[in-house]
Amino acid sequence: MQYFDTLSNQIVEFVPREPGKVSIYACGPTVYDVPHLGHARTQLTYDVIARFFRWQGLEVTLVSNITDIDDKIIARAAAENTTEEAIATTYTEAYIEQMHRLGIADPDHRPRATEYVDQMLDVITQLIDTDHAYVIDGSGVYFDVASFEDDYGALVHRSAEDLREGAGQRVEVDERKRDPLDFALWKAAKPGEPTWESPWGPGRPGWHIECVAMALDILGDGFDLHGGGTDLMFPHHENERAESEACGHRFARGWIHSAMLNIGGEKMSKSLNNFRTLGDVLDTWDPRALRLAMLQTHYRRVMELGDEAMQGATAALDRFDAFARRVSVIDLPEATTLPDEIAAFTAAMENDFGTPAAVATIFELVRAGHTALDADDLASAAAIGATIDELTAVLGLVPPAADTGDDAAEIDDLVAQRQAARDSKDFAESDRIRDLLSERGIEIEDSAAGPIWRRV
Ligand SMILES: [Zn+2]
C-alpha cells in the first residue's frame, strides 16, 4: 500500500505502527453553520480510506473531532442571542445528519473540544515546562515558534523564516508576542465568552491544541495517519505538529491531505457567493451520485463539481442500479467473486487510494454484467454480480436493495410487457403502457442494456 505523504512530500509505503492496526485522525468541522461540499469531500476521503483498510482486514480506529468552541461559534451565538452550546448542538446535529445522508460512516470516536479541555491543559503545561510556551498576562498562553525553529514549516516545506515574513506582513500581529508566528494555546477570558479555569486564569483553548490533545489521548504517540483538507495544512496542521513534537510526543507518522473543491469553475467560498450547502446538493441529487462524482476525482486533485458532473454520475448510477434490478428478479447460481477484478480494484486503491481507477473497474463489471444477462449467461452474471457487491461496499456505493416500493414487481411486469410489445413492433401498445407507467410516476429509459425504470 502506497500513499502520498505530505510531510515527506513523496509517495511512501504505508507501514502501520502496529501490525494489523491503523490509527487515523481526520480534522472535523467547526460547528457554526450547516456543512458545505468541502466538508463532504474531506470526510468522504477518510471514510473510503477507512473502509478500504477494513476490507483489507486491518483494524481501523478513525477519530474525527467536532470543534464546538471557537470565535465563529461565539459570534453566531451573539448574533442570534443564544448560547454557544445551542449553536454547537444545532450544527453538530446538522453535520452528522448530512454525513449520514452521504453514506459516511460514523468515526469510531467523535470527541468534542469542550469535553477535552483537561487534556488540552495538560499538553499546554508540558509545553510551558519544556520552555516551548510562554504566558502573556491578560492575553493567554502562546507557543514559542523560535523554540522549534528548525522543524517548524516542515509540513508545508517552508522555513520558519520564510513563513515569518508572511506572518509579519499581517496587520493584526500582537506586539506582545515574541514572534509573529507564535500562536495562542490558551486565550484569556473576554467578557461574555464561555470560559474554563486554568493555571493561567480563566479562558478558552486555542484551536490547534484541541486536535493534539484528542489525537494523543485517543490514538497515542506516533499514530499512523493524520488527515484534513489542504486548507488546514497551514497554520493548523503545522501548529498541531509543532505543539506535539516540541513537548516530546511524536505526532502523526504520515499525513494525507484532500484537495479543495470548485463549483462550476469557481473556487468554493462563502465570499464568492456561490456557496451551496451539502444539504442543497443532497436534496437535488441522489446522495450516491454525489459520492460517485467525488470518487471519480482523485482526492489529491482539485475537484470541479457542477451539474454536468452530477448528471454524468447519475447516468452511470442508473446503469449500475439497472444491473442490480435485473439480477434481483432472476435466480442466479451460487458464485464466487472474480479474482482478476478484485486484484485490479485492490491495485488501484493501493496506489494512493486511486478511487477513479477503482470506480472504473466496477463500471467495467456493470457493462460486462449487462452483456452476460443479455446473452443469458447466468453463471457469468452471477460471478460479476458477486464481485460488484463486494467492491461497491468498499466504496460505499451499494445500490438500494432493488426498489423498495410494494409495487416494484408489478412495475417490472408492465415494463416487461411494454418491451414485448416493442419487440413485436406493436408501438401503440408499448406507448399505452409507457403512458400508464408515466401516470404512476415511473420513467423508462431504453438503454443498450435494456429498459431501465425509475421513479421520478
Ligand atoms: Zn485539527
User: How many angstroms separate the alpha carbon of residue 228 from the centre of ligand 1?
Assistant: 7
User: How many angstroms separate the alpha carbon of residue 237 from the centre of ligand 1?
Assistant: 6
221-251 residue pLDDT tens: 999 999 999 999 999 999 999 999 999 999 9
pTM: 0.87
Is residue 401 over pLDDT 70? no
User: How many angstroms separate the alpha carbon of residue 264 from the centre of ligand 1?
Assistant: 28
User: Which of 73-87, 150-164, 311-325, 374-388 is predicted least confidently?
Assistant: 311-325
User: How many angstroms separate the alpha carbon of residue 415 from the centre of ligand 1?
Assistant: 52
User: How many angstroms separate the alpha carbon of residue 65 from the centre of ligand 1?
Assistant: 8
Average the pLDDT over 185-197 and give the result. Answer: 94
> If you search the block for the grid coordinates 508545508, which residue do you land on?
156
User: How many angstroms separate the alpha carbon of residue 202 from the centre of ligand 1?
Assistant: 23
User: How many angstroms separate the alpha carbon of residue 239 from the centre of ligand 1?
Assistant: 9
User: How many angstroms separate the alpha carbon of residue 238 from the centre of ligand 1?
Assistant: 10
Average the pLDDT over 348-374 and give the result. Answer: 97
User: How many angstroms separate the alpha carbon of residue 248 from the centre of ligand 1?
Assistant: 19
User: How many angstroms separate the alpha carbon of residue 110 from the centre of ligand 1?
Assistant: 12
User: Which of 45-49, 154-158, 164-168, 328-332 is predicted least confidently?
Assistant: 164-168
286-315 residue pLDDT tens: 899 999 999 999 999 999 888 888 899 999
Average the pLDDT over 90-105 and give the result. Answer: 95
For residue 175, what pLDDT band results from cuts at 50, 70 and 90? confident
1-18 residue pLDDT tens: 999 999 999 999 999 999
User: How many angstroms separate the alpha carbon of residue 334 from the centre of ligand 1?
Assistant: 47
Average the pLDDT over 359-388 and give the result. Answer: 96
pLDDT at site 269 = 46
pLDDT at site 168 = 65
User: How many angstroms separate the alpha carbon of residue 298 from the centre of ligand 1?
Assistant: 22
User: How many angstroms separate the alpha carbon of residue 167 from the centre of ligand 1?
Assistant: 20
